[in-house]
Amino acid sequence: MTEQESSGTAQGLGEDFGRRFVQGVQRLLGENAEALGELDRRAGDGDFGTSVRAALSQLDRETEQEQPSTYRQWLSALYRGWLAVGGTSGPLFGVFFRELAKAGEADGTPQVEELVEALAAGQAIVQRYGEAEVGDKTMVDALAPAVEAMRRSLHDGEPSQHVLEAGEAAAVEGARSSAESLARRGRASYVGEASQGVIDPGAAAMALVLGAARAAADAGRGEQHPREVDTAWLV
């Protein structure tokens, strides 16, 4: 890796990555809240779309009050938004984003390696609190393969663009594969076989989060026509 590539900007994140990432998460989850809620109505208790909207509304209040400017401040607003939501998903997404907020230095933008390790830490805490493994039909079905793919890409010396693309692709594939499983954790586990054939909404949301990270990094490189996050697989 060259000296230039070791900097945050050369790693494809950019100084304003935190704002772009959080606003991307907000846009993608907001635009797809109805679809996520429909998945939960088919395979769970049906409240996930409401939880998403509540978290994003709280995020609006947090950003208006705190006026974040750094990566850590933006991610902190996001995790506080989710922690204000009850149920199962609010606390789990909240502690996940809290781990992401710890990436890098307090006033700087994390490098890709630091972001990947923060994602791994987020996976670990979600699994510790949620007691879920891959195949249990939870957000872990998207997050775990994404972390694995990103670590493998880093190990192979691939550029940051490929690292983030690998994470997004693995997360989407993991989310889509969750349709094949029976829910064994969370409230969705109460509906038994009714959950089979339906993508887990938490895994779907996590795939959108990974897509938002990739798109935010693309924009940070100054691409004139960055690739949009594909959401067609949700329906």
Residue 167 domain flag: yes
Average pLDDT over residues 114-126: 98
Residue 197 domain flag: yes
Considering its fold, how many domains does the chain have in total? 1
Alpha carbon distance 110, 66 (integer Å) = 21
With 50 as the cut, is the pLDDT of residue 9 above it?
A: no
Residue 158 domain flag: yes
With 80 as the cut, is the pLDDT of residue 88 above it?
A: yes
Give residue 73's pLDDT.
97
With 90 as the cut, is the pLDDT of residue 209 above it?
A: yes
Q: Would you give the distance in Å from CA 47 to the centre of its chain?
A: 19
Q: What is the mean pLDDT of the chain?
A: 89
**In which band, very low, low, confident or very high, does the pLDDT at 195 lie, cut at 50, 70 and 90?**
low
Sign of CA dihedral 131, 43, 35, 136: positive
With 50 as the cut, is the pLDDT of residue 6 above it?
A: no
User: DSSP string of 178-215?
Assistant: GGGSPP-SSGGGGGGGGGTTS--HHHHHHHHHHHHHHH
Give residue 220's pLDDT.
86
Q: The CATH number of the domain where 123 resides is what?
A: 1.25.40.340
Residue 226 domain flag: no
Contact indicator for 187, 173 with CB cutoff of 8 Å? no
pLDDT in tens, 152-194: 999 999 999 999 999 999 999 999 999 987 655 555 454 455 5
Q: For residue 135, give the amino acid letter.
A: G
How many Cβ atoms from other residues are within 10 Å of residue 73's Cβ?
Answer: 20
Alpha carbon distance 211, 231 (integer Å) = 9
> What domain range is 86 assigned to?
17-221
CB crowding 27-44: b at 16 or more within 10 Å, else e: ebbeebbebbbbbbebbb
Residue 227 domain flag: no
Contact indicator for 175, 142 with CB cutoff of 8 Å? yes
pTM for the model: 0.90
Residue 234 domain flag: no
Residue 103 domain flag: yes
Helices (H), 71-222: 71-83, 89-101, 112-130, 140-155, 160-177, 201-220
Residue 196 domain flag: yes
Contact indicator for 129, 92 with CB cutoff of 8 Å? yes
pLDDT in tens, 12-70: 588 899 999 999 999 999 999 999 999 999 887 789 999 999 999 999 999 999 999 99
